[in-house]
Amino acid sequence: MSTYPSACPYDCPDGCSLLVETEGNAVTSITGDPANPYTDGWVCAKLRNLPEAINSPRRILTPLRRTGAKGAGEFEPISWEEAVGEITSRWKDLIARYGAQTILPYSYAGTMGIVHRNCGEGFFHALGASRLKRTLCSSAKTAGWQKVMGNSCDLSPWEVAHSDLILLWSANIPATRAHLAPILRKAKENGAKVILIDVYENPSVDFADQTILIQPGSDGALALSMLQVLDQEGLTDEAWLSQHATGWEELRATLEVWDPEETQFLVGQPPDVIRELARAYGQAKAPCIVLGSGFSRSGNGSEATRAIVALPAAVGAWAKRGGGTYGICSSPALIDKSLVKRPDLADPHTQEININLLGPVLEGKKVDTPIHSLYVYHANPAAVTSHQNAILRGLEREDLFTVVHERYMTDTALYADIILPAPYMVETADLYTPYGYRQIQYVQPAAPAPGEVKSNFEVFRLLSAAMGMEDPYGGSTVEELCRQMVEDSAVLTREQKDKVLAGEPVVLESPFPLPIETADGKVHLDEPIITWFPPFGGGEPFHLVCAPAIHTLNSSFNECASLRELRGEMSVRMNKEDAARLGLAQGDKAVCYNDLGEMTCTVALDRAVAPMTVVAEGVYPGKNTVNCLTHARLSDRGDATTMNDNTVWIRKA
Ligand SMILES: Nc1nc2c(c(=O)[nH]1)N[C@H]1C(S)=C(S)[C@@H](COP(=O)(O)OP(=O)(O)OC[C@H]3O[C@@H](n4cnc5c(=O)[nH]c(N)nc54)[C@H](O)[C@@H]3O)O[C@H]1N2
Ligand SMILES: Nc1nc2c(c(=O)[nH]1)N[C@H]1C(S)=C(S)[C@@H](COP(=O)(O)OP(=O)(O)OC[C@H]3O[C@@H](n4cnc5c(=O)[nH]c(N)nc54)[C@H](O)[C@@H]3O)O[C@H]1N2
Ligand SMILES: [Mo]
């Protein structure tokens, strides 16, 4: 038995350091590495169960060519030579007929490793393919934060322990921030009060002293209302505001309309609840907002972020240890990724396709040069991207040449013309810096890649050579690129660099108070005045929200039978009164439908949900899953997904 240090590659703020045990070439166990104080020696159930997927007989181990109809899942093994030959000859032909923009790369966050996540960009920029705007997750939230806070970072997770009032705002701690749980417990032991603000009683309720369920998309109205109460009741920190903020007087002059008497109908909570929340926030010594991203995947998501981020400024929370926000931008850029992303190779005149618009684009809408080839790597758009039915119709097109680089038969891979076999992280080297705290780790493979599996980096090198292109990385290996990026870091000290290069996880302290990194060093509460406007969905019929599941991560881990079982069947949660009106009881089958599609699933009534709201946890495999009901519409800023902002009708199945 051997033990290797490794890092979790999944799109999760916790970014754990791992210990991987192997017997021969087989990975036998994955645990948390105590060398990383945030991981603290333990990992979630997903990672503990990952060896089952890594060793699964269902892994794709050779390149495959489609033999049946698209979507039928019939393939034959072929060699890498044949696969690369077929891909590049089809591409050369398509480029000659339509130009290189007819090829669309599609990738998101299957791996967060800096090299393997980003190295396709160098290749596709050099090829002149369409550019992909990767805004599938929280770019509305980032855009809102940046308007107020510029390039500032927010708190490191361990700082939350110093807070005496913690608002878990649109955040599911057990699912998406499990390592914050011990910190929340510590804060509670020290007397902190915890309030959950969500559209349903998500599993974070176990930490909450109080739960406030609000209408989806009403967060901005709630935050503005809290500001109105803080102002009315003299709970703002005028000294801090005058020294560290601009635009407060202008914002304050507009707050009257956000009186809780007015906003109660938007928020769905009585004025007293809103006032009490504002008072608790204004009277706390160091209030901290742990802000998830769910609320920001909405037509008003960026503006709502601005309103929420105005709260810590209004009470001067940033000046108090434990005060501020956690979960928005908790890690400064320790590494410059441009060595791998190669933005210098991108032609700004090449068409840019928003990742959320894949369905319409494959159907020939919202695109100048129509797409005739799609190359999907570390993403599963047939399951995770909005307007699933349009995506499936697009993937069925006979004139679309689709290549999917994958580890197992995903919903997207089913439609591929060519599938290429991809690795798990234990089989590759890479450099990892999580977005939920200041950490960096350089990882070497713990096991050899099985069968004919090749990494993203290896595949792009093969494709680049076969297209007769110059290697964007000048012949460097993954290890050399990682070393170079560490050496070039403007943030790490020499000692930290040496530690990273020796394979140790390096965790950085955060400064206190955090610097405000805007052009003038001030928090910006104007330009323009922060406001609220209605989301796309809402009212009657039901507002549909997509929430994370504990045992899977987006569509990742759907390949693990044990985790699928722990997660249970596809369901929607709603409140008992709404269910009763529709004649639905716990465990009944219901059909959720709208203009885009319909999904049949089980009704779950065991957690409280805001009125006229349904919550679908997790991304399930198959057709007619929740993203058949989500529109390909973009947020107010940041061009983000609005998958939490849709309306559905419901009937008993
Ligand atoms: N187990 C697990 N872990 C994950 C993931 C997963 O799917 N499963 N996903 C990973 C990814 S890609 C990300 S981006 C991160 C963060 O994942 P996020 O999706 O940002 O999850 P949270 O931050 O926990 O926030 C989700 C919460 O937002 C709530 N919500 C939705 N709409 C609204 C609204 O309008 N108002 C309010 N107040 N609340 C709302 C949902 O009910 C849910 O409880 O987690 C990562 N980690
Ligand atoms: N309904 C609903 N939809 C959602 C979400 C939700 O909670 N609910 N979450 C949204 C969010 S926040 C996000 S970030 C997106 C995420 O969307 P995606 O980034 O598409 O994430 P995953 O579903 O995890 O799929 C990643 C795929 O990458 C593959 N993969 C992993 N590592 C590698 C590798 O090294 N090479 C290659 N070639 N493949 C690899 C995995 O096998 C997996 O199939 O989904 C969004 N969509
Ligand atoms: Mo995400």
Residue 170, ligand 1, Cβ within 6 A: yes
Report the Cα 514 to chain-centroid distance in Å: 24
Give how far Cα 588 sits from Cα of 110, 329, 545, 651, Å.
Answer: 34, 41, 20, 11
Place of tokens 């890092």: 7
| Mutate-to-test residue for ligand 1 from 8, 10, 12, 329, highest number of ligand atoms within 8 A of CB | 12
Q: Is 366 helix (H, G, I), strand (E, B) or coil?
A: coil
Pocket test of ligand 2: the residue of 107, 108, 403 to mutate, having most ligand atoms within 8 Å of its CB, is: 108
Give the Å distances, CA to CA, from 345 to 129, 322, 624.
11, 43, 39
Report which bound ligand comes closest to the CA of 383.
2
- Ligand number with the minimum distance to the CA of 213: 1
Q: How far is the CA of 144 from the centre of ligand 3 (A)?
A: 17
Mention every residue, 6+ apart, whose C-beta is less than 8 A from residue 498: none
Over the range 514-549, which residues count as b (16 or more CB within 10 Å of their CB) and which as e?
Answer: bebebeeebbbbeeeebbbebbbbbeebbbbbbbbb
Residues 392 and 623 sit within 8 Å (Cβ to Cβ): yes
Index of the ligand 2 atom closest to the CA of residue 379: 20
Take atom 24 of ligand 2 and give the residue whose Cα is closest: 556
pLDDT digits (tens, 9 = 90+) for 464-505: 999 999 999 999 999 999 999 999 999 999 999 999 999 999
Only one residue has tokens 């995947």, namely 297
Ligand 3 mean position to 278 CA, how many Å? Answer: 29
Give 423 Cα–ligand 2 centroid separation in angstroms.
15
C-alpha 70 to ligand 2 mean position (Å): 21
Q: Which ligand is nearest to the CA of 644?
A: 1
- Encode burial over 146-181: b for 16+ CB neighbours within 10 A, e otherwise: bbbbbebbbbbbbbbbbbbbbbbbbbbbbbbbbbbe
Ligand 2 centroid to Cα of residue 156, in Å, is 25
Q: Whose CA is nearest to atom 18 of ligand 2?
A: 379
Phi and psi torsions of 506, nearest 5°: -110, 120
State how far the alpha carbon of 474 is from the alpha carbons of 363, 442, 470, 478, in Å.
Answer: 37, 21, 8, 12
- Is pTM, for the whole model, over 0.95? yes
If residue 277 lies in a helix (H) or strand (E), which one and from where to where? helix 271-283
Question: Is 108 touching ligand 2 by the criterion CB < 6 Å?
Answer: yes
Cis check for the bond before 381: say yes or no (omega within 30 of 0).
no
Query: Which domains, from first to last, does the chain contain?
Result: 2-54 (3.30.200.210), 64-137+333-427+451-474 (3.40.50.740), 154-327 (3.40.228.10), 542-652 (2.40.40.20)
Instruction: Give the number of C-alpha atoms closer than 13 A to the C-alpha of residue 72, restricted to the C-beta side.
Output: 10
What CA–CA distance (Å, rounded) separates 125 from 105? 10
The encoded tokens of residue 21 equal 């045990």
Distance CA 218, CA 216 (A): 6
DSSP 442: E
| Pocket of ligand 1 contains residue 202 by CB under 6 Å | yes
Cα 193 to ligand 1 centroid, rounded to whole Å? 22
Question: What are residue 604's DSSP bridge partners?
Answer: 573
Region for residue 234 given its phi and psi (left: phi exceeds 0; alpha: psi -120 to 50; beta: otherwise): left
For residue 426 and ligand 2, the question of a CB distance below 6 A is answered with no
Could you tell me if 43 and 10 are in contact, meaning their C-beta atoms sit under 8 angstroms apart? no
DSSP string, 58-79: TS--S-EEE-SSTTS--EEE--
The residue contributing the CA closest to ligand 2 atom 29 is 378
- Which candidate, 299, 322, 331, 325, places its Cα nearest to that of 312? 325
Note whether 302 and 218 are within 8 A (CB): no
Short-list 11, 76, 127, 114, CA closest to 460? 127
Give the integer Cα–Cα distance in Å for 130 and 379.
17
Can you give the pLDDT at residue 329? 87
Residue 457, classed as helix, strand or coil, is helix
Q: In this structure, which residue's CA is closest to atom 36 in ligand 1?
A: 295
Contact 614, 572 (CB under 8 A): yes
Residue whose Cα lies nearest atom 9 of ligand 2: it is 554
Residue 197 CB–ligand 1 contact under 6 Å: yes
Residue nearest to atom 8 of ligand 1 (CA): 553
Residue 212 buriedness (CB in 10 A; 0-12 / 13-18 / 19+): buried
Which class for 133: exposed (0-12), middle (13-18), buried (19 or more C-beta within 10 A)? middle
CA of 21 to the centre of ligand 3 (A): 29
Please answer whether residues 312 and 232 qualify as being in contact, where contact means their C-beta atoms are separated by less than 8 angstroms. no
> pLDDT at position 537, please?
85
Cα Rg, the chain, nearest whole Å: 24
Ligand number nearest to the C-alpha of 141: 1
Which residues contact residue 495 at a Cβ distance below 8 angstroms, ignoring those fewer than 6 apart?
none
* Three-class HEC string of 222-240: HHHHHHHHHHHCCCCCHHH
Which residues in the chain come in under a pLDDT of 70?
Answer: 539
Ligand nearest to the CA of 553: 1
- Tell me the pLDDT tens digit for each residue of 262-283: 999 999 999 999 999 999 999 9
φ/ψ (deg, to 5) at 585? -120, 160
CB 485 within 8 A of CB 339: yes
Report the DSSP beta bridge partners of residue 32. 18
